[in-house]
Amino acid sequence: MLTETEGRAAVKLARKTIEAFLSEGKIPDSQELGIDISPVFGEYRGVFVTLSEDGLLRGCIGHPYPDSTLEDAILDSAISAATRDPRFPPVEEEELKSITVEVTILTQPEKINASPKDLPDKVEIGKHGLIVKQGYYQGLLLPQVAPENNMDSIDFLSHTCIKAGLSPDAWLKGAEVYCFEGQIFKEKNPEGEVMEEKF
């Protein structure tokens, strides 16, 4: 688990990375940005960066698995959320003043070993995020998605399947389901105070 100080540094790193990338077109590092980061940022962690504008999603991309250091994963995810999310046009530099930045640090995803009918009982809303896999298809929803959209565990499983490009009931028909937890740090308002969000 990250401390609040580390969480604030994670969000600051994401925001400053986007600012630098949009203004200079290059990927900075924490030293260039003048951000003091602790040793945890050198650990391999999964992470997602979420951008919101006026309460609406503006970009969300990340590393589901711990395939790079937390610092590198935040840098890459922040730039990707701002410029490479296929659902949205790239963020413009002047837009940043109206965008809130959120960073979710993930635990290692673990396969839920249960029969399909028992899967909903294994999913804790507000605690678990989900990954559904079948063949080449894969979809992920972060832990905050279910409580923010008033989903129960069946809704959450179904929407993760849809995110994967599968039918909503794929979780009942043999798709693999993985769960993970996330520690969420977000700005209360654009460029504002950073809080840890708990459900």
All domains of the chain in start order, with CATH:
4-106 (3.30.700.20), 110-181 (3.30.1490.150)
Residues facing 195 on adjacent strands: 186
Confidence at residue 27, expressed as pLDDT on a 0 to 100 scale: 86
- Output the six-digit token pair for 28: 């900075």
In angstroms, the first-to-last Cα distance of the chain is 16
Percent helix, strand and coil across the chain, each to the nearest 5: 35, 30, 35
pLDDT in tens, the chain (199 residues): 999 999 999 999 999 999 999 999 988 878 888 898 999 999 999 999 999 999 999 999 999 999 999 999 999 999 999 999 999 999 999 999 999 999 999 999 999 999 999 999 999 999 999 999 999 999 999 999 999 999 999 999 999 999 999 999 999 999 999 999 999 999 999 999 999 998 8
**Whole-prediction pTM value?**
0.95
Q: Which amino acid, residue 127?
A: K
Q: What is the 3-state secondary structure (H, E, C) of 174-197?
A: CCEEEEEEEEEEEECCCCCCEEEE
Confidence at residue 68, expressed as pLDDT on a 0 to 100 scale: 97
Q: Which amino acid, residue 178?
A: Y
Q: Which amino acid, residue 132?
A: V
What are the backbone angles phi and psi of residue 129, rounded to the nearest 5°? -100, 165
Q: Helices 4-24 and 70-83: crossing angle, nearest 10°? A: 50
**Which long-range CB contacts under 8 A does 171-177 form with residues at least 24 apart?**
171/116, 171/119, 171/132, 172/116, 172/117, 173/116, 174/116, 174/134, 175/132, 175/133, 175/134, 176/111, 176/132, 176/133, 176/134, 177/111, 177/112, 177/119, 177/130, 177/131, 177/132
Q: Which residues contact 37 (CB under 8 A, 6 or more apart)?
A: 6, 9, 13, 30, 71
What are the backbone angles phi and psi of residue 195, rounded to the nearest 5°? -125, 155
